[in-house]
Amino acid sequence: MLSHVMPVYAPAPVVPVSGKGLWLYEANGTAWIDCIGGIATNALGHCHPALVDALALQSHALWHVSNALCIPGQAELGAKLTAASFAELAFFCNSGTEAVECAIKTARRYHAVRGAPERSGIIGFHGSFHGRTYAAINASGNPAYLEGCGPLLPGFDHFDIADRAGLAAAVARPTTAAVIVEPVQGEGGARALADADLLRLRQLCSAHGVLLIHDEVQCGMGRTGRLFAHQWVEGAAPDIMAIAKALGGGFPVGACLATADAASGMTAASHGSTFGGNPLAMAVAGAAFDIIADPDMLAHVRAMSEQLRSALETLRCQHPDIIVDVRGKGLLIGLKLAPNNRAFIAAARQHGLLLAGGGDNIVRLLPPLTVSAEEAEMIVERIAATCMAMICPAVA
């Protein structure tokens, strides 16, 4: 079936035709609990009625006009996002990696318009993921994504977050433009940065006139139980932030947010996008924002996270040979496994549970923010059954 599609993916043998909330359904009626969630994208579950309505309504009015004409939805969503964050300006695009591209351009142009174009160095971290475009794979430095894609781009360096001395020296270089970091690493291993590390990065950048970029493409928009993950830590706000995934609740849309100062190089014609910020995306993302940013929703995320985490910790104690660590933040939950994570994901499918993979031999649970207490219990039951099956494959 995929014979004319470039074989860059290895999809599981599941063909959903419809979805509702946490659940996905195949044509033959098979029901799945979906903890992939479009990779942390369907934050309100599948086919949330408010998003279906917003999309349907807009689809009858207008889809696309390009940024050659005015799109009022951009101003509306921009106002919501900036009122709820450190930022004053937004650029809308279609994906996470484009939001990262814009963030890196914004940082470099900030220095260039101040007469310091040599300040172009971008500092990233081992274990990070920023997307698949050239700037993004170079910012992450993960050899798995760089291999065979030609020479490395100049101007990118990578450190362990624990390498304080190396990091401090690199940030202090007169050629450094920005630091890019995920407050909670997603793909790379569901690792939440320590509060102290986030604060240290903020202080280090401020001390040297270096811009701080947060990549909250995965951990932002409510996933951790705050609207943005860095909002757990007072005084840690970045200058520039990339968001996407949950922003459209499943509709493709991304944004680069920045303070007016950090965005001062983003002058007319310095950047752009044909599809970015189109009326359909703005309508759906606007509706998703109102639901996700509701304090009751964020409190619900924190409660469901606590319930899931404490149950998963209990499972880890019962199956220390299977589950080595429970990590992440909020409803971005990683289980570091002893057995191969791909084998665990396949075994979970035998129990009707769809899990996402990740670096460092983790599986990720990315349920919708709307997951109920009963559904969270079902998820844990199915993980428990999967653990049993990994121990005794014959009897399970």
Of residues 32, 24, 53, the one with CA closest to residue 291: 53
Please count the residues of this chain forming the interface with ligand PLP, following the rule CB under 6 A: 15
Residue position matching structure tokens 């609207």: 227
Catalytic residue of the set 105, 245, 329, 336: 245
Of residues 376, 61, 109, 137, the one with CA closest to residue 263: 109
Closest approach, Cβ 39 to ligand PLP, in A, equals 6
Q: Which of 183, 186, 225, 367 binds ligand PLP (CB under 6 A)?
A: 186
Using the minimum distance from each CB to ligand PLP, give the nearer residue, 127 or 186: 186
* Residue 295 tokens, joined: 């304090």
Closest approach, Cβ 52 to ligand PLP, in A, equals 22
| 206 three-state secondary structure | helix
Question: Which one of the spans 15-23, 180-188, 297-305, 383-391 is the region binding ligand PLP (CB under 6 A)?
Answer: 180-188
Closest approach, Cβ 128 to ligand PLP, in A, equals 7
Q: Which of 37, 96, 121, 238 binds ligand PLP (CB under 6 A)?
A: 96
Using the minimum distance from each CB to ligand PLP, give the nearer residue, 189 or 319: 189
Closest approach, Cβ 303 to ligand PLP, in A, equals 24
Closest approach, Cβ 330 to ligand PLP, in A, equals 14
For residues 254 and 244, what is the distance between their CA atoms, to the nearest angstrom? 4
Q: Which of residues 213-252 bind ligand PLP (CB under 6 A)?
A: 215, 217-218, 244-245
* Residue 238 tokens, joined: 């970045």
Using the minimum distance from each CB to ligand PLP, give the nearer residue, 367 or 375: 367
245 is catalytic: yes
| 284 three-state secondary structure | helix
Using the minimum distance from each CB to ligand PLP, give the nearer residue, 97 or 361: 97
Using the minimum distance from each CB to ligand PLP, give the nearer residue, 217 or 227: 217
For residues 63 and 129, what is the distance between their CA atoms, to the nearest angstrom? 31
Q: Which of 130, 300, 329, 364 binds ligand PLP (CB under 6 A)?
A: 130
Closest approach, Cβ 188 to ligand PLP, in A, equals 8
325 is catalytic: no
Using the minimum distance from each CB to ligand PLP, give the nearer residue, 216 or 239: 216
User: Does position 101 bind ligand PLP by CB under 6 A?
Assistant: no
Q: Which of 187, 197, 239, 375 binds ligand PLP (CB under 6 A)?
A: 187
Alpha-carbon separation of residue 96 from 131, 257, 258, 267 (angstroms)? 7, 12, 15, 22
**Is-contact 349 12, C-beta < 8 A?**
yes
For residues 369 and 115, what is the distance between their CA atoms, to the nearest angstrom? 45
215 is catalytic: yes
Closest approach, Cβ 133 to ligand PLP, in A, equals 8
Q: Residue 169: in which H helix or E strand, if any?
A: helix 164-172
For residues 44 and 223, what is the distance between their CA atoms, to the nearest angstrom? 11
User: Does position 37 bind ligand PLP by CB under 6 A?
Assistant: no
Q: Which of 43, 100, 323, 356 binds ligand PLP (CB under 6 A)?
A: 100
Q: Please, what is the angle between helix 279-292 and helix 49-61, to 10°?
A: 160
Of residues 202, 220, 199, the one with CA closest to residue 212: 202
* Residue 177 tokens, joined: 């433009």
Of residues 23, 13, 16, the one with CA closest to residue 367: 23
User: Does position 106 bind ligand PLP by CB under 6 A?
Assistant: no
| 237 three-state secondary structure | coil
For residues 141 and 154, what is the distance between their CA atoms, to the nearest angstrom? 12
**DSSP-H helix ranges across 64-95:** 72-83
Using the minimum distance from each CB to ligand PLP, give the nearer residue, 218 or 386: 218
Catalytic residue of the set 34, 197, 215, 239: 215
Of residues 378, 355, 364, 357, the one with CA closest to residue 307: 378
Using the minimum distance from each CB to ligand PLP, give the nearer residue, 95 or 341: 95
Q: Which of residues 253-312 bind ligand PLP (CB under 6 A)?
A: none
Closest approach, Cβ 215 to ligand PLP, in A, equals 5
Catalytic residue of the set 86, 125, 129, 228: 129
Render the burial of 347-376: b for 16+ CB within 10 Å, e for the rest.
bbbebebbbbebbbbbbbbbbbbbbeeebb
Catalytic residues: 129, 215, 245
Question: Which residues contact ligand PLP by CB under 6 A?
Answer: 95-97, 100, 129-131, 182, 186-187, 215, 217-218, 244-245
